[in-house]
Amino acid sequence: MLIQQLKQLEKDGIVRRTVYPQVPPKQSTSSLRYGICARAVDAGVNRVGRDEAQTCRG
């Protein structure tokens, strides 16, 4: 499942995936420019959500 998600993220240009031909299989991933921007936006959205949740709780 994780491999499929990483392959899709690679296809979408969010991460770079490197597969090493060894046993057991090994791979590494790194964020591309778009992935880094998306991570920053996600962090901002999460922060707003936490602030709103605290406001609603009183």
Domain boundary assignment for the chain: 8-57
**Residue 10 DSSP symbol:** H
Q: With a cut of 80, say whether residue 31 has pLDDT above it.
A: no
SS3 22: coil
Domain at 8-57, CATH from 1.10.10.10, 3.40.50.720, 1.10.150.50, 3.90.1260.10: 1.10.10.10
Highest mean pLDDT among 9-13, 27-31, 43-47: 9-13
Q: With a cut of 80, say whether residue 37 has pLDDT above it.
A: no
Cα-Cα end-to-end distance for the chain: 40
- Split at pLDDT 50, 70, 90, the class of 58 is low
Q: With a cut of 70, say whether residue 18 has pLDDT above it.
A: yes
Contact 31, 6 (CB under 8 A): no
Alpha carbon distance 13, 51 (integer Å): 31
Q: Which of 46, 1, 7 lies closest to 29, judged by CA? A: 7
Model pLDDT, residue 57: 78
